[in-house]
Structure 1
Amino acid sequence: MADPARARKLAVRIRQIVSAAIEHQIKDPRLGMVTVTDARVTSDLREATVFYTVFGDDTQVADSARALASATGVLRSTVGKQTGIKFVPSLAFVADHVPDTARELDEALERVRSADAELARIREGASYAGEPDPYRRPVEESDEDEDTDGVRTADDDADVPTETRSAS
């Protein structure tokens, strides 16, 4: 097991070497506009995964993948010469889909922002449905309904349910 810091440093160095070699050394016509985005090395320093993106459509991505697969030996020997390590890790190239995902997320966020702005525009002139105060308040008894002498009349008993009339 190698030191994780050493694996990270080697990954950064491999990314730099591979990107420079693709730009200056590899002359394959199938190779499109390739950008090396990241490199990762296993903890035993035996395998390296190089992530890349290609500017263009799906055919250019597929052609660039075939060109990188055929240039793996040349790129590995270049990495070995420039790093000077005893065992040169094997290289595996993986197309990086992070930029595409980030672009899709940005587009989704823009759609949400425009929908929020449209909702805010509609909401500006809106008013509440129903009464301004929707909560029920207890009915306050007025002084006019009370008898002055405090005696119940037959009219008062008509308002009370029969169950409570017998109890009073």
Structure 2
Amino acid sequence: MAHDRPQRVGQLIQEELGRLVTKGFKDPRIGFVTFTGVKVSPDLRQAVVYWSMFGADEAQRNETAAGLKAATGFMKREIGSALSLRYVPDLRFVYDEAIDRGDRIDRLLRQVKEEEAARTSDDEAPGVPGGENES
């Protein structure tokens, strides 16, 4: 049963980080961030925190990454006091590109659907067999 403890601790850390985001950070570089997952090492010493920002460009992501790195100590203190862990894992923030990939796929699918609709409407133009010339 000890093998799922890192997963449970990761879930608790993710929830606490979500609460911290809703309270807001003093660092203006940290905008609207979503923490998408936390993976904690088996010894509970390291935690990789995956985050994303919807609609952010490369410059905004870099600024937010710098802000998160600067706020790591604050977040560790808050997590430690909220979760009463003997040892609070070191936090490492990694940008999660899954939302960006999903958004790109969605845009491509919409584009294909629009092209398909345009092609279909061109095929149904006047003068096409099945129209007024049939007797």
State TM-score, norm by structure 1.
0.64
* Alignment-derived partner of residue 115 in structure 1: 115
Q: Give a deviation string over 1:91-133, Cα, whole Å, max 9, x none.
A: 0111121111111101111122223334444555479xxxxxx
Q: Mapping of 1:67-106 within 5 angstroms?
A: 67-106=67-106
Gaps of 5+ in 1: 128-168
Superposed CA RMSD in Å reads: 2.3
Give the deviation of 1:16 after TM superposition.
1.0
Shift of 1:65: 1.0
Deviations 1:20-41 (A, max 9, x none): 2233263112222222222121
Which runs of 5 or more residues in structure 2 are unaligned? 131-135
Distance in 2 separating the partners of 1:60 and 1:51: 16
Matched pairs, number: 126
Partner of 1:8: 7
Letter in 1 for 2:62: A
Higher relative contact order (CA 8 A, sep 6+): 2
Aligned equivalent of 1:134: none
User: How many Å apart are 1:57 and its aligned residue?
Assistant: 3.1
Distance in 2 of aligned mates of 1:81 and 1:123: 66
TM-score normalised over the length of structure 2: 0.78
Which segments of structure 1 move beyond 6 Å, counting only runs of 4 or more? Answer: none
